[in-house]
Structure 1
Amino acid sequence: MEKIFTTSNEIKSEIINLSAILNLPKGTEAFVSDIHGEYDEFAHILRNGSGNTRQKISELFTGRLTADSQKKLAFLIYYPSEILKQTKESMPDEASLSQWYIDTFNELIEMLRYTSSKYTRSKVRKAIKDDFVYITEELLYADSNDNAKYKYYYEVMDSIVRLGMADSFIISTCHTIQRLVVDHLHIIGDVYDRGPHPDYIIDHLMKRWGSLDFQWGNHDILWIGSAAGSKLCMANLIRISARYNNLRLLTNYGIGLSDLREFAEKNYKPLDSFKPKSDTGAKIPDDDACYDNCVQQAIAIMQFKLEGQAIQRNPEFQMSGRMLLDKLSPDRKTVEIDGKKYPVIDGCFQLVDPDDPYKLTDEEEKILIDLSQQFIDAPKLRYHMAYMMNNGSMYLKYNGNLLLHGCVPVDEEGKMLSWTVDGKTYAGKSLFDFFEKVLKEGFQKPSLVDCKKSDIIWYLWTGKMSPLFGKLAMTTFERYFVEDTQTHHEVKNPYYSLRKEEWFADELLKEFGLDPENGHIINGHTPVKLGHSPIMANRKIFVIDGGMSKPYHKTTGIGGYTLLSNSYGFQLVTHEPFTTRKKAIADMTDVVSTKRVIEQSVKRTTVGDTDIGASLKKQIEQLTARLEAIDKNQTIRV
């Protein structure tokens, strides 16, 4: 909201306020990536501030609270409603409960005072639930050692208990601490994928989180693209959802699948290659397994047909090698890939016309148009995607660091690869900017008509020049129909081997206008295998795939990484695999196993050293320059 100043004293007061803020310590940034729809684990990491809450409790209460008491306080802050219920059930009488409330109030207020010390009162007030602003501020800024105020301070707490507000006050205070432990959240791609509840993740962020940003991931693009009317994004999305027994997510978004189901069960029968997968290991009910299997086949064939059409429309995509329906033998028992023939397993090509293999049947066309219209019109989906678009980007420059999900397409020597579309050539930063422009325009004006924008949005999912894909080709067809696993291999862009080199990191930072001496590149997208380091290029590139998708735990041996950046430097947080929310609360088992300081500032970083600080300095300059205008009785607007 625009501030209006009419006197020199008002301007001077604002200058004093902004100048003081510049000298506060920089707030903590948390970097999280590749959530893949795993809401419970992600929510736990948010609740514990990526381990920051436990660290602050230790700093504040070691020597005063036992390790067990510190753990109980931490889990009260993470899960206040559940821990309150457990505690009340274990109390022998009302007097014991009342004393526990008073003790807990004191601990939580002390913890809130400690976590809020780097913020202005105004910012802290905004983090407190409206119902408890007055009470919380009275306790927060009171001096409990002041004998004159001790009775006042105690009476406030006693009244909270007596009036039956204790539980609500504790819950509110815990949520405030959660918000303040991390000042800004960066989500470096892939909120969506095979996990069951990306919708819960977006709801949680919208309701409970303040300052955040997204760098879109390849799986996010499928959902954004589907909401923009891309049938190809939608076909991939539905196929993957069926693959992982997660079609109920589409139902949660109001997408009706009855016509697709009826079509699939009429035209296809279950095949081994299309058996749905369970990430949890739980058996998928037979009816669901049959449904997922047939839907997967039906939508996969539609996907391959749509891909052929898009590739033919866009020769600059250079994806003719992905057109394989026309490489099937007349009897559909072999397929030619890169000049070599392979036996076909579990073929389901009964609706593929040998004379025109990429033509949709009338019924397929009707189903796709209906589904695509539903994706465009679904209110909750549109709301969630708009939230990601409004707070997101293809990459982000923030406090001197470069945040991006996948890669910067380069050749083997590290030179930025160029891509020419409609007579214009893009590489490096300009390639990212081009994709972001197309994606935003496509989302703002969704269309059922296949066009250049929708094709490019799909290309972001699977094209070799896509920074979000980062591979030569996606071998979906081969994984379904060819037994030879050599054909399944997907060749990565040289970026992924070169990012170990410091010179390469320096070139990337310069390409995006950042200082190679002080900047870092923070990536997601690729799980870091057991025995490999997520710290690369002489500590200039950090790979923090969150590892939240359960199937990756076998590959990584851990639950993934998150990153913290506070006023003292960077900390890499290693997570243990998360089990379930219920078990975490019952056993009070955290997911943080180790925190490693990977870079420490010579001097403590202040707000004045950040991007926000640069903005505040500019405001101070404008205000200072306008002080003279008051003498001319002008109304000053800033």
Structure 2
Amino acid sequence: MNDLELKYLKSIANLYPTIASASTEIINLQSILNLPKGTEHFLTDIHGADEQFLHVLKNGSGSVIRKINDAFGNTLSSRDKKMLATLIYYPEQKIEIVLKEEENIEDWYKITLHRLIQISKRVASKYTRSKVRKALPKDFAYIIEELITEKAEVLDKEAYYNEIINTIIRIGRAKEFIIALSKLIQRLVIDHLHIIGDIFDRGPGPHIIMDTLMEYHSVDIQWGNHDILWMGAASGHLACIANVVRISAKHGNLDMLEEGYGINLIPLATFALNTYNDDKCKCFHINNSSRDYDKDLDLDNKMHKAISIIQFKLEGQLIKRRPDFQMNHRLLLDKINFDTNRILIDGKEYELLDSNFPTIDRQDPYKLTVEEEQVMERLKSAFLKCEKLQKHVRFLFSKGSLYKVYNSNLLYHGCVPLNKDGSFKTITLFGKQYSGKAWYDFLENYARKAYYCEDDIEVRQKGQDIIWYIWSNENSPLFGKTKMATFERYFLSDKEMHKEQKNYYYSLLEEEDVVNRILEEFNVDSKTGHIINGHMPVELKKGENPIKCNGKLLIIDGGFSKAYQRKTGIAGYTLISNSVGLRLVSHEPFESAEDAIVNEKDIHSDTTIVESFSNRRCVGDTDIGKELKEKIKELEALLRAYRRGTLIEKEL
């Protein structure tokens, strides 16, 4: 034993000062290794669809109803199972309905409590008693532990449990106890949650989703291109802020900015009215608008146009500032002939659908007017001072990354940039070359500097510009298209100009040698590992399949957001990984939480078995298991040191 090893053993001897304490911990850890692997839940491309997200989170993509079926089989009717499932998802709301409708509420309480206890026992069975204890609600921790733990010393178990339940009802705590049990079941049915990008944009509730994730017991996040955009905006980057506001305007979500995050949009609204007062802004109509009045919609259109023009100017300034980004082909404002209302792109002229550009200086088209600068300074101040947004973005940085390797699965949102032959594309930036995993690591490092670096303004600015690069550059693993055709979609009628050609990655997903090479690049065993991917909606109605390369790669973006559902034909994919295998779940559209509660309508979901494990996976087969095995080895070394006299036991 060298000095370093001895020093380390002395440090853990402070935690386990005797042979008995070290031995007990080894036995405890060994028992954990043999428990079934916890259930992992994978979601992606939520895009602000908070109601559907919350429902899928509550039902664990069908995991709760599966536990109900396992617990009761044919002993409960389909109607009773639906009612029980709805109660577990929405306990507070469902109990209020039951209290109004049920004639004998005491009997209902007794029956329901027995059923919930039975399910609680089942979902708790794969965890240690210590882990379950930590998950128990404080008010009822002792009672729940009594009810879900087998007590060999109690002879008449039924009478013992009945007496506890009767007491709960008699003292008027049944309602609160049912809520506690329901939330415990939700908590234990899923051990860990993976969000594979794009929490933000399109839908109305990203702030609600973020609040929920911050309270979730175990979660990691792989940043999507829309998430990274909001992270850049929160850092105060003007081009990112303009994009965030524009996308919110386009999808009728300006209310979310104002009410969800408290972003003051009055300066933008005032500027838009003054500048585009007589402009109908027909190219800037609002998608999925919930506005009730034409006047509100007209203002939104004007704000949409105003921020779009500002965005194109700011992006032009950035492209000129960063020649290393190699994006001069996206400088378009200086290609406009304002006399003929035409634009020259790649040697071909196109007529513009809009000819009113009162804020563009023909001699310097990328320069903001004084009024535009004032609008952006006010917006920047609002984003930087928004406590809620800053809290959410810090959470994204602390729990998130561009990719993650977890239990032999490689998780990322977009693509690994590839050449036509399937080799990793080499990208040169700031004088250095990167490819594969190193490219991801470089970009993530600069993204973190963009937000956290305060002592070097130049490094922070470079990081902020790289966040925008991650959002929109063809070499970005989160974007992976030849161009972001925002300008073309607004101003050109030619549909060919709207197309955004994807990276070769997307045409090579069935090539096993390519998929294996990606897995190995990220140190994942290509024989057992999987890639779990978001970003690109799988168009099921066109016959596309989310399962690629014989199950080695899974694209689980199926249109969670309503904006995509017409295109995909479904309302999202989710993935469940448990001790017995991998299940891909496809979801039908979700009506509303109210419909789910009142009519006991769950999301209709179809399940596809991606992989079944020949032997049930245990904690010992996971990443946590590897850590526990390492700790057992260290403790065994400590035991040897005690028994050989190298270290001396301490009196407790």
User: In structure 2, which of residues 436, 445, 462 is the aligned counterpart of residue 452 of structure 1?
Assistant: 462
Report 1:6-405 matches (<5 A): 6-92=17-103, 96-142=104-150, 147-207=155-215, 209-251=216-258, 252-268=260-276, 269-278=279-288, 282=290, 284-331=292-339, 333-405=341-413
Q: Distance in 1 between matches of 2:599 and 2:157?
A: 40
Q: Distance in 2 between matches of 1:550 and 1:495?
A: 26
State the Cα distance separating 1:462 from its structure 2 match. Answer: 0.5
What residue is the counterpart of 1:516 in the other structure?
Answer: 526
What residue is the counterpart of 1:464 in the other structure?
Answer: 474
Q: Distance in 1 between matches of 2:374 and 2:281?
A: 25
Q: Distance in 1 between matches of 2:478 and 2:132?
A: 37
**Quick one: which amino acid aligns to residue 579 of structure 2?**
S
State the Cα distance separating 1:38 from its structure 2 match. Answer: 0.5
Q: Distance in 1 between matches of 2:291 and 2:285?
A: 12
Matched, 1:608 2:620: yes
RMSD of equivalent CA atoms: 1.9
Q: Distance in 2 between matches of 1:292 and 1:221?
A: 25
**Quick one: which amino acid aligns to residue 241 of structure 1?**
S
Q: Distance in 2 between matches of 1:581 and 1:285?
A: 26
**Quick one: which amino acid aligns to residue 624 of structure 2?**
I
Q: Is the 8 A contact 2:415 2:478 kept in 1?
A: yes
State the Cα distance separating 1:211 from its structure 2 match. Answer: 1.0
Q: Distance in 2 between matches of 1:4 and 1:407?
A: 45
Q: Is the 8 A contact 2:579 2:618 kept in 1?
A: yes
Deviations 1:58-87 (A, max 9, x none): 111112111111111111111111111121
Deviations 1:489-528 (A, max 9, x none): 1111111111122222111111111111111000111111
TM-score (norm 1): 0.96
Deviations 1:209-239 (A, max 9, x none): 2111000001101111111121111100000
Q: Distance in 2 between matches of 1:54 and 1:558?
A: 21
**Quick one: which amino acid aligns to residue 507 of structure 1?**
R
Deviations 1:101-156 (A, max 9, x none): 11111100110100111100111111111111001011111459954343332121
Partner SS for 1:472: coil
State the Cα distance separating 1:10 from its structure 2 match. Answer: 1.1
Count residues with an aligned counterpart: 630
Identity %: 46
State the Cα distance separating 1:546 from its structure 2 match. Answer: 4.6
Cα distance change, pair 44–423 in 1 and its aligned pair in 2 (3 A)? same
Partner SS for 1:223: helix
What residue is the counterpart of 2:440 in the other structure?
Answer: 432
Report 1:549-568 matches (<5 A): 549-568=561-580
Q: Is the 8 A contact 1:369 1:448 kept in 2?
A: no
State the Cα distance separating 1:346 from its structure 2 match. Answer: 1.8
Q: Is the 8 A contact 1:278 1:284 kept in 2?
A: no
Q: Is the 8 A contact 1:332 1:344 kept in 2?
A: no
Q: Which runs of 5+ in 2 are unaligned?
A: 1-10
State the Cα distance separating 1:413 from its structure 2 match. Answer: 1.2
Cα distance change, pair 51–304 in 1 and its aligned pair in 2 (3 A)? same
Deviations 1:416-467 (A, max 9, x none): 1111122211111111111110111111136998832111110111000111
Q: Distance in 2 between matches of 1:634 and 1:68?
A: 64
Q: Is the 8 A contact 2:86 2:596 kept in 1?
A: no
Q: Distance in 1 between matches of 2:487 and 2:567?
A: 24
What residue is the counterpart of 2:550 in the other structure?
Answer: 538
User: In structure 1, which of residues 579, 582, 589 is the aligned counterpart of residue 594 of structure 2?
Assistant: 582
State the Cα distance separating 1:358 from its structure 2 match. Answer: 0.9
Partner SS for 1:396: strand
Cα distance change, pair 480–155 in 1 and its aligned pair in 2 (3 A)? same
Q: Is the 8 A contact 1:144 1:153 kept in 2?
A: no
Partner SS for 1:479: helix
Q: Is the 8 A contact 1:109 1:140 kept in 2?
A: yes
Deviations 1:17-72 (A, max 9, x none): 11110111101111100000011000000110111111111111112111111111
What residue is the counterpart of 2:583 in the other structure?
Answer: 571
